[in-house]
Chains A and B, each alone.
Chain A
Amino acid sequence: EVQLVESGGGLMQPGGSLRLSCAASGFTVSSKYMTWVRQAPGKGLEWVSLIYSAGTTYYADSVKGRFTVSRDNSKNTLYLQMTSLRPEDTAVYYCAGGTTSLGGVAFDIWGQGTMVTVSS
């Protein structure tokens, strides 16, 4: 079964760091482009970052320089390293993946999300 499972969320203080994980099963993360999308409480979906099969990475303006997306092919896992956390980073974080047949910016496999709360 094709599946993505996020973990690593929690309550963090402003300025802190956190690493989210997204474990894949039923496919290899290196064969797809992978993304992180977040949803703040009561708000809409917001794109965060993207990593292509070749390793090229992209970030939203709001997280550039603070968040880093990576993957470990041996663990078949996607990561999001989050630093200098701000209260506005509070959100449910989803990981998702897509294949080149979808055009490069559409994602058909999604996890259930992990909650990150940044508060003092």
Chain B
Amino acid sequence: QSALTQPASVSGSPGQSITISCTGTSSDIGGYNYVSWYQHHPGKAPKLIIYEVSNRPSGVSNRFSGSKSGNTASLTISGLQAEDEADYYCTSYTSSPYTISILVFGGGTKLTVL
């Protein structure tokens, strides 16, 4: 069971917007602004699309945006395109007393563009 909870799947039509949630605790998402999001096309290397909750690396489309409220982070993709179909993972720094890990991943969300 992943430390961060994401919906298993979301879908949307081209041009629409979708939001993927990522729920953690006060020991990770709620306590720090170190949430990142990755796009992963199967068989390829993951790609960083959001870091520190809402920052986009150079070269990443502004159709991708991130936010956080309490213990839940969100990734919004606007103007859906066919090439956005991929798996999306959230991660967060953690200081949970129940683990020695400092980084936790969500279980991943499969985005289907209809």
A→B interface (CB under 8 Å): 35, 37, 44-47, 50, 58-61, 64, 94, 96, 98, 102-108, 110-113
Contacts and interface: CB of A to CB of B under 8 A. Distances in A.
Interface of B: 2, 33-34, 36, 38, 40, 44-48, 51-52, 57, 87, 89, 91-93, 99-108
Contacts, number: 77
Contacts of A94: 45-46
B44 A45 contact: no
A47 B52 contact: no
B47 A58 contact: no
Contact of A46 (B38, B45, B105): B105
Contact of A111 (B45, B47, B52, B91): B45
Nearest to A58: B102
Contact of A103 (B34, B38, B106): B34
A44 B103 CA distance: 14
A45 B100 contact: no
Given A102-B57, A103-B51, A103-B52, A44 B46 contact: no
20 contacts: A35-B103, A44-B87, A44-B106, A47-B103, A59-B100, A60-B100, A61-B101, A64-B100, A94-B46, A102-B52, A102-B57, A103-B34, A103-B51, A105-B92, A105-B93, A105-B103, A106-B36, A106-B48, A108-B48, A108-B51
